[in-house]
Structure 1
Amino acid sequence: MILTLALSASLALTGSTAQATTKPVTFQGFTIQVPLQWHVKKEGGGLRVITGACSPQAAECQSFLLGGPGHIKYASEGNPYRTDQPYHPSSGVTQCVPMKKYSSGQANRVKTSKAAFGTGQQALFTEWKVSCDGSKLNVASYTQSLWYVKAKKVLVVDHWKTPGLGAILAKAVWG
């Protein structure tokens, strides 16, 4: 009986601790659980989830974007999102994410696959390596990861290789 009581107490404490380390973020009909220390702010009809530092040398804080229909409509130089191109909503040159002083050069697709995005939903997952200066070799680059759920009009954009983001999205709960 003592063993049973100790095991029950241990499971109860483990469960409440695990729940206390995350918080829900709801967007476009789904909810994900993110670490408590991450911050969420509205950004152009979407949500920016800040996951780490905000360096003055970087074009954006360590984060990822939860984008909806507006982000999809203007995802490629003011045109709709195309699965054969990286996410680049503005026309012209953009700043390189890890270093403001460089401008984005060319991008090469590294991977395309299907990825779980909650129960019953699949995302098209695409990873791009974006060169920060296409005219020079071996210069700074970054990885852009995209999860696109066409049926739900959701586009997730990650420029920071956010640890565990794929697993977080795979556990999304659709409402």
Structure 2
Amino acid sequence: MILTVALSASLVLTGSPAQAATKPVTFQGFTLRVPLTWHTKKEGVNLRVITGACSPAAAECRSFLLGGPRAVRYASEGSAYQADRPYHPSSGVSECVPKKKYFSGQATRVRTSKAAFGAGQRARFTEWKVSCDGGRLNVASYTQRVWYVKAKKVIVVDHWKTPGLGAILGKAVWG
């Protein structure tokens, strides 16, 4: 019994079972290893990776978007992705992600840096704080995180601060 508990504790601390409990998600020439509980949904030419619950109050399920050349071409109000602007492909007003009864408003850049996106690839990582309003200030807000790999015309957009996503993208396999 003690040996079993010690072995279980050892596996939990080393992370071995969690590493084994993944599946591949392939998109635009790269593969990510994601938890088995996550699933994918095609959205036109993009792929949404659903990571958690879908609340009827939210504009989207807990997820992140994998986009290719078309998503990059129409990433900023119908124009090409611009690193100094949040990802906003429509030319209209968009719903506030956590509370869809409000609209997304002002976005403030929190930080920009370079991030690994698999072996040999670097992404421009930008984090935005997006406020939502319904006639009142600061009703709600959310964080938009964007990884953009210019050389591959790939963009990843996360509105839920998905835990571990940066590390998952850092281990992407291109091929």
Regarding TM over 0.5, the answer is: yes
Distance 1:35 1:62 in 2: 14
Q: Is the CA contact 2:102–2:134 (under 8 Å) kept in the aligned structure 1? A: no
- Report the counterpart of residue 143 of structure 2 in structure 1: 143
- Report the counterpart of residue 106 of structure 1 in structure 2: 106
Distance 2:93 2:15 in 1: 48
- What is the aligned length? 165
Q: RMSD in angstroms over aligned alpha carbons?
A: 2.0
Gaps (5+ residues) in structure 2? 1-6
- Report the counterpart of residue 3 of structure 2 in structure 1: none
Distance 1:15 1:85, change over 3 A: closer
Residue 78 (1) aligns with residue 41 (2): no
Find the residue that maps to 2:104 and give its secondary structure.
coil
How far does the alpha carbon of each residue in 1:96-123 deviate from its partner, in whole angstroms, 9 at most, with x for none?
Answer: 0000110011100000000000000000
Q: CA deviation at 1:138?
A: 2.7
Q: CA deviation at 1:92?
A: 1.6
Q: Which moved more, 1:70-79 or 1:17-26?
A: 17-26
Distance 1:151 1:99 in 2: 35
Larger Rg: 1
Percent same amino acid among aligned pairs?
79
Q: TM-score, normalised by structure 1?
A: 0.89
- Report the counterpart of residue 162 of structure 2 in structure 1: 162
Distance 1:24 1:120 in 2: 20
Q: TM-score, normalised by structure 2?
A: 0.89
- Report the counterpart of residue 48 of structure 2 in structure 1: 48
Distance 1:146 1:105 in 2: 17
Distance 1:107 1:136 in 2: 16
Amino acid at match of 1:169: L
Distance 1:15 1:89 in 2: 38
